[in-house]
Amino acid sequence: MSEVLFEIRDLVKEFKGVTALDRVSTTIRRGEVVFIVGPSGSGKSTLLRCLNLLEIPTGGTISFRGRDVSTRRRLHKFRQQVGMVFQHFNLFPNLTIHRNITLAPVRTGKATPAEAAARADELLERIGLIGKKDAYPAQLSGGQKQRVAIVRALAMNPEVLLFDEPTSALDPEMVGEVLGLMKDLVRDGMTMVVVTHEIGFAAEVASRVIFMDHGRIAADGTPDEVIRHSPQPRIREFFSRVL
Amino acid sequence: MRYFLLLMTGLLLSGVWGCSGSDKPKLVMVTNATFRPYEFVSGQKIDGIDPAIVREIADALGYELEIQDMSFDSLIAAVQSGRADIAAAGITVTEERKKQVLFTDSYVIAEQLIVVRRDAPYQMVADLKKAVIGVQHGTTGDLYVTKNIREPERYAHAPLVISALLAGKVDAAVLDSEPARVFVQQKAADLRLLTVPLTSEEYAFAIGKHNPDLLVRVNRELRRLKQEGRLDSIIRHYRELCEVEAEQDVVGGHRSMMAHLRDSLYVNFVKDRRYLYLWNGFLVTVCVTFFAVLLGIAIGFVVAVIRSTADQTGRWKAADWCCRVYLTVIRGTPAVVQLLIIYFVIFGAVDVNKICVAIVAFGINSGAYVAEIIRGGIMSIDRGQMEAGQSLGLTYSQTMRMVILPQALKNVLPALGNEGIVLLKETSVSGYIALQDLTKGGDIIRSQTYDAFLPLMAVALIYLAVVMLLTRLLGILEKRLKRNE
Ligand SMILES: Nc1ncnc2c1ncn2[C@@H]1O[C@H](COP(=O)(O)OP(=O)(O)O)[C@@H](O)[C@H]1O
Ligand SMILES: [Mg+2]
């Protein structure tokens, strides 16, 4: 079996009285493509955001490659190894597309400006947006923005990429291009954790599916086990509605 | 832009170091130079009976004399606090003032006279019971009228009282006899004096209670000047000088409107190079505003970053608390009051250039408003921006510097520009610490020509022109920034 990246034990997250995560435990290994699905408000985003400590857990432990990160002090060093793609892209509107991509590698010391620029060109070439390198985010379509956001995260050469509903804010005709890029990443062997409502896509590319309900993991297994043949009526009913 | 900065810095520095002199000990005299013939601004210098007498005394005692101009009601405080050694401004000896300062022997007996419009029915003091009376704030005329007749209208200086009288805002003006005579002579067609004085009183110099030694020495010199007849000749010299000038400044009665306007323009702006008061005042105003804006932005920036960081991360609690106190105090008190406190209390004992005091005061004042503007700008940036920066492995401060602040500043640029414009106008209260800014320049012209209209209009037009120019530049800048989106 491949190396363990995330080891999550009894993770609890409470927001002023609301328990968003209730003793969640799971393991994510290198090369896995884990999809997190479930009803709205079940804690999917919270779990994902705890993985790179954008949310600080109120209980339990998260270790990354064998090291407890919830007590780590220099969080940015840890976050450099974990990329994240947001529902609303969160590109930096004050910077060009090219600068959006090179900013973090240069400022964190991961690459020289020249290396970062070459890598950004290569990534933009790959997603066919090299012609937009000097444009600003506001000049791009939603699908283009999300693909730039993905390669911006890739430019840091992360160990794992987290996606929080990457296609939910897109017009339907743009969903395909983003899913296409994600599929390419799967083929390249990228470790990915994806929160999505695109169940068909999950069934197609996931190596594992986690079903969340009321802040707990209700099922954790292969797409077949969770999406198609779950023994739990509540889960079967959920998928029959969305598929 | 760079040349402009250089120019401004030069202006500031020449102001700061321009006043160094010989190594004789300094005697600082304060006065309010709007009281002919006792003290008035002539060219760029303060001249008159009081400066001339004090200069003779200072010379005899081996001091180098430095004269500072300030509002009349601040004079007593200035010698009390030790900012100044001697106040010489036609100050009347009263029991109240004696409690606060030491008075020298008197050098003049003056009367409070009543000036009315030529066509007004008043003849005696008793007729004034129902009249609206104008006085100069803080003078004995003010005290006497308040106590014995009725609550007066109080103006900042004597020429304003006369302007108010001419404009029909008050029915009578109570003024010291010397300036009253000069005014009436200048506007003989419109004004007259009541023959009986309201009261008579003694003028003396005021010295701080901590300095009885100086009092003894000044009194000795005063006695000598009296014996030598020098005192009388000084007083006579300035009375005559002012009477001659007053005749020259009279803008005559029965001419066409155009000719009248032309004469007024000449007297107010051209004669004796009076336009220099406006020009120099304008430079001071621009200089103070420019550096105060820079200081304000620097302070505001730091405060806004501290406040937002404390809000978002819970760090820097103590610094945040200090910032809150700063914001509450500065935004809860008027700028004039802050200016006076900084001048008299904080810089009370040390001798600093007034331009610097004004820059510091207005910079600190503006910083509070700028801080809230910038903080609003930071708060208006979507939380996702900070999350995206941090998820890429940038630190909080890196994301702040490279992502959040550039966007926030761009968003608040119009508001910052507005703050600059507000500040420009706010500096017009600099006259309270006798800094000769644009507004004060207009005041000085008015104190010489007794014309309230033209100098005020000129000052207003200059402010308006600067504000319109700034608004225009700001618009261009905004448009240029919008282009990258
Ligand atoms: N910042 C927050 N403050 C308060 N409550 C929150 C916050 N974020 C999430 N929650 C609550 O936590 C629960 C889980 O939310 P979330 O993880 O966003 O669910 P999902 O992504 O599955 O829709 C919800 O009840 C939500 O209201
Ligand atoms: Mg969600």
B355 and B436: one domain? yes
Residues contacting residue A39 through CB under 8 Å, at least 6 positions apart = A213, A238
| Backbone conformation region of residue A65, classed left if phi is above 0, alpha if psi is from -120 to 50, else beta | left
- Please write the tens of the pLDDT for every residue from A205-222: 999 999 999 999 999 999
Is residue B391, in this structure, part of any structural domain at all? yes
User: B324 CB near a chain A CB, below 8 Å?
Assistant: no
For residue A23, pLDDT beyond 60: yes
φ/ψ of B139, rounded to 5, equals -85, 170
Using only C-alpha atoms, what is the Rg of chain B?
27
Whole-structure pTM value:
0.75
Kindly state the percentage of chain A with pLDDT values over 70: 100
**Closest-CA distance of chain A to residue B368, Å:** 27
Whether B341 contacts B377, CB under 8 Å? no
Closest residue CA from atom 27 of ligand 1: A41
Which chain A positions have a beta carbon within 8 Å of B388's beta carbon?
84, 86, 90-92, 149
| End-of-domain residue from the set B235, B250, B265 | B250
B423 and B467: one domain? yes
Nearest to B397 by CA among B453, B337, B316, B329: B316
State whether the beta carbon of A42 lies less than 6 angstroms from ligand 1.
yes
Q: Which of B313, B392, B397, B399 to mutate to test the interface with A (most CBs of A within 10 A)?
A: B392
| Residues whose beta carbons lie less than 5 angstroms from ion ligand 2 | A 45
What's CA B109's distance to the chain center, in Å?
Answer: 29
Is residue B8, in this structure, part of any structural domain at all? no
B362 and B413: one domain? yes
Q: Count interface pairs A-B at CB distance under 8 A.
A: 71
Is residue B17, in this structure, part of any structural domain at all? no
Domain count, chain B: 3
B393 and B461: one domain? yes
Calpha distance B175→B191 (Å, rounded): 13
For β-strands B108-117 and B191-193, DSSP reports them as antiparallel
Q: Please, which residues bridge with residue B200 across strands?
A: B111
Calpha distance B396→B383 (Å, rounded): 12
Is residue B16, in this structure, part of any structural domain at all? no
Is residue B296, in this structure, part of any structural domain at all? yes
B102 and B191: one domain? no
Is residue B68, in this structure, part of any structural domain at all? yes
**Closest-CA distance of chain B to residue A208, Å:** 24
Whether B75 contacts B206, CB under 8 Å? yes
- Please write the tens of the pLDDT for every residue from A189-209: 999 999 999 999 999 999 999
What's CA B125's distance to the chain center, in Å?
Answer: 34
pLDDT of B226 reads 92
Which chain B positions have a beta carbon within 8 Å of A77's beta carbon?
393
Whether B278 contacts B459, CB under 8 Å? yes
φ/ψ of B31, rounded to 5, equals -155, 175
**Closest-CA distance of chain B to residue A173, Å:** 24
- Return the ligand 1 atom nearest residue A38 CA: 22
Which chain A positions have a beta carbon within 8 Å of B407's beta carbon?
92-94
For β-strands A208-213 and A33-37, DSSP reports them as parallel
Yes or no, beta carbons of B392 and A103 under 8 Å apart: yes
- Please write the tens of the pLDDT for every residue from B314-336: 888 999 999 999 999 999 999 99
B187 and B215: one domain? no
The one-character DSSP state at B223 is: H
Which chain B positions have a beta carbon within 8 Å of A104's beta carbon?
389, 392-394
Is residue B9, in this structure, part of any structural domain at all? no
Buried b (16+ CB within 10 A) or exposed e, B356-379: ebbbbbbbbbbbbbbbbbbbebbe
B318 and B433: one domain? yes
Alpha-carbon dihedral sign for residues B331, B335, B336, B340 = positive
φ/ψ of B23, rounded to 5, equals -105, 15
Yes or no, beta carbons of A86 and B388 under 8 Å apart: yes
Whether B406 contacts B336, CB under 8 Å? no
Q: Apex CA A182: angle with CA A81 and CA A220, to 5°?
A: 75
The single-letter code of the amino acid at B43 is G
pLDDT of B15 reads 42
Calpha distance B22→B64 (Å, rounded): 8
Is residue B189, in this structure, part of any structural domain at all? yes
- Assign residue B56 the CATH number of its domain: 3.40.190.10
User: A169 CB near a chain B CB, below 8 Å?
Assistant: no
pLDDT of A212 reads 95
This model of the complex carries an ipTM of 0.95
Residue B73 tokens read as 């009601």
Closest residue CA from atom 17 of ligand 1: A43
Yes or no, beta carbons of B406 and A94 under 8 Å apart: yes
In this structure, the dihedral spanned by the alpha carbons of residues B344, B345, B350 and B356, taken in order and rounded to 10 degrees, is -70
Q: What is the DSSP string of B123-163?
A: -SGGGGGGS-EEEETTSHHHHHHHHHT-PPEEESSHHHHHH
Yes or no, beta carbons of A136 and B392 under 8 Å apart: no
Whether B209 contacts B102, CB under 8 Å? yes
B464 and B366: one domain? yes
pLDDT of B139 reads 80
B331 and B246: one domain? no
Nearest CB to B385 within list A79, A83, A90: A90
B325 and B430: one domain? yes
**Domain range spanning residue B299?**
275-483
Which chain B positions have a beta carbon within 8 Å of A80's beta carbon?
392-393
pLDDT of B174 reads 92
B425 and B469: one domain? yes
| End-of-domain residue from the set B167, B183, B202 | B202
State whether the beta carbon of A44 lies less than 6 angstroms from ligand 1.
yes
Whether A199 contacts A39, CB under 8 Å? no
Best mutation site among A16, A22, A37, A45 for ligand 1, i.e. most ligand atoms within 8 A of its Cβ? A45
For residue A50, pLDDT beyond 50: yes
State whether the beta carbon of A92 lies less than 6 angstroms from ligand 1.
no
- Please write the tens of the pLDDT for every residue from B132-189: 999 988 788 888 888 888 888 888 878 888 888 888 889 999 988 878 888 888 788 8
- Taking 70 as the pLDDT cut, the residues of chain B under it are 1-22, 246-256, 349, 483-485
| End-of-domain residue from the set B179, B202, B225 | B202
- Assign residue B356 the CATH number of its domain: 1.10.3720.10
pLDDT of B162 reads 87
B286 and B431: one domain? yes
The single-letter code of the amino acid at A110 is K
